């Protein structure tokens, strides 16, 4: 996992709890005093261990934590890539271009390997994600899409078809805009993720 994501995970814990909770989480996960640098790749097992341990500490199921974390990082990911985002885009437009623009850049510049996100526009207000990754973190993808929708002032719903967590070879998730409205992107993050 890229260090930037690990840094966001630390911020997520500290903002929703505190620094002491992050340190306790690291200790409980067997990663005491581990420092994550935004420009280094780390083994995925460390992320998994932190999330599983966080689930044990909070009683919140792993998939719920991953989805809330995905929602939390969505705005940061958009802001970091702002130069690539067209001003007229909304949620589905951005999703439709994630793989060709954003992930291509991430693979070329940062030399990391995010999962291939195959978004196919299936209607004016809906898009389907075909996701296959050994990480099986489709819940993060659901959270990111929800967070992108919030950024654009759109409420995004989803319907799950197949899911790797239920034994399928890939996940298929249909996202749709509920009550599309003309709202400008938010300028600041709200802290309602606890």
Res 189: pLDDT = 43
Question: pTM (2 decimals)?
Answer: 0.85
User: Are the beta carbons of 70 and 144 closer than 8 angstroms?
Assistant: yes
Indicate if the pLDDT at residue 182 is higher than 60. Answer: no
Instruction: Average the pLDDT over 102-116 and give the result.
Output: 64
Lowest model confidence (mean pLDDT) among 54-63, 103-112, 134-143, 178-187 = 178-187
Burial 13-29 (b: 16+ CB within 10 A, else e): beebbeeeebebbbebb
């Amino acid at each position: 996992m890229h260090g930037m994501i690990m840094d966001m995970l630390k911020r997520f814990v500290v903002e929703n709890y505190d620094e002491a909770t992050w340190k306790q989480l690291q200790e409980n996960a067997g990663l005491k005093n581990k420092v994550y640098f935004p420009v280094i790749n780390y083994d995925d097992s460390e992320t998994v261990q932190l999330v599983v341990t966080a689930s044990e500490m909070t009683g919140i199921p792993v998939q719920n934590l991953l989805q809330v974390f995905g929602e939390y990082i969505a705005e940061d990911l958009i802001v970091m890539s702002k130069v690539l985002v067209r001003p007229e885009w909304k949620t589905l437009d951005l999703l439709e271009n994630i793989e060709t623009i954003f992930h291509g850049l991430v693979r070329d510049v940062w030399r990391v390997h995010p999962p291939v996100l195959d978004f196919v526009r299936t209607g004016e207000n809906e898009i389907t994600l075909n996701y296959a990754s050994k990480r099986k973190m489709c819940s993060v993808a659901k959270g990111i899409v929800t967070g992108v929708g919030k950024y654009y002032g759109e409420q995004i719903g989803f319907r799950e078809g197949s899911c790797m967590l239920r034994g399928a070879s890939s996940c298929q998730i249909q996202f749709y805009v509920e009550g599309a409205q003309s709202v400008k992107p938010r300028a600041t993050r709200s802290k309602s993720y606890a």
